[in-house]
Structure 1
Amino acid sequence: MLNFELVTPEKLVRADEVHMVVVPGVEGDFGVMEGHAPFMTTLKDGALEIYKSAGGEPERVMVSGGFAEVGDKGLTVLAEKAEG
């Protein structure tokens, strides 16, 4: 499972173990699963799609501004705003 955190300047919005997250990056949407290579990108305004399990329906959280970083500990999304 992928360790996923969604953070805004005000608070930690979510910290969870998930199957996959699709992130709206400025160079295109990309999916992150456990074991993804280290990566960092700026976010575009759009929906994070959070898959709790393989083949499940995604939960969508609208984000605007910020960054996404994939590292040894998983995926961290630092968004200016998150709604959903």
Structure 2
Amino acid sequence: MANLHFELVTPEKLLLSEEVHMVVVPGTEGEFGVLAGHAPFMSVIRSGELRVYSGPNTVSARIQVEGGFAEVNEKGLTVLAEAATEIQA
């Protein structure tokens, strides 16, 4: 199973940089999932919950993001969020 390189960045710091299975991002046009090999893509994100999956059915992190941008390229997914706070289970 291929992994996706994911980075979550705020103006203050790099919050996450890891290999994951999938990330579900709250886009302005609706949520979208990103897996390894996804086509290049850019989107504005809305305030909402970003979910990080370490496996097909395993959510490893839930993060409240406040606006920003998401970019998918050949290197992986980068989310540039205005603010981000991890949601405790």
Same fold judged by TM-score > 0.5? yes
Could you tell me which runs of 5 or more consecutive residues in structure 2 were left unpaired when the two chains were aligned.
Answer: none
1:9 is matched with 11
- What CA distance in whole angstroms lies between the structure 1 residues aligned with 2:51 and 2:58? 11
- SS of equivalent residue, structure 2 residue 39: coil
Could you tell me which runs of 5 or more consecutive residues in structure 1 were left unpaired when the two chains were aligned.
Answer: none
1:67 is matched with 69
Deviates more, 1:54-63 or 1:9-18: 54-63
1:76 is matched with 78
- What CA distance in whole angstroms lies between the structure 1 residues aligned with 2:60 and 2:34? 13
RMSD of Structure 2 on Structure 1 (CA) = 0.7
After superposing on structure 2, the runs of 4+ consecutive aligned residues of structure 1 that deviate more than 6 Å are none
2:29 is matched with 27
- SS of equivalent residue, structure 1 residue 16: strand
1:39 aligns with 2:41: yes
TM-score (norm 1): 0.97
> Kindly, what percent of the aligned residue pairs are identical?
60
What is the one-letter code of the residue matched to 1:10? E
Per the TM alignment, residue 58 of structure 1 is displaced from its structure 2 partner at its CA by: 4.5
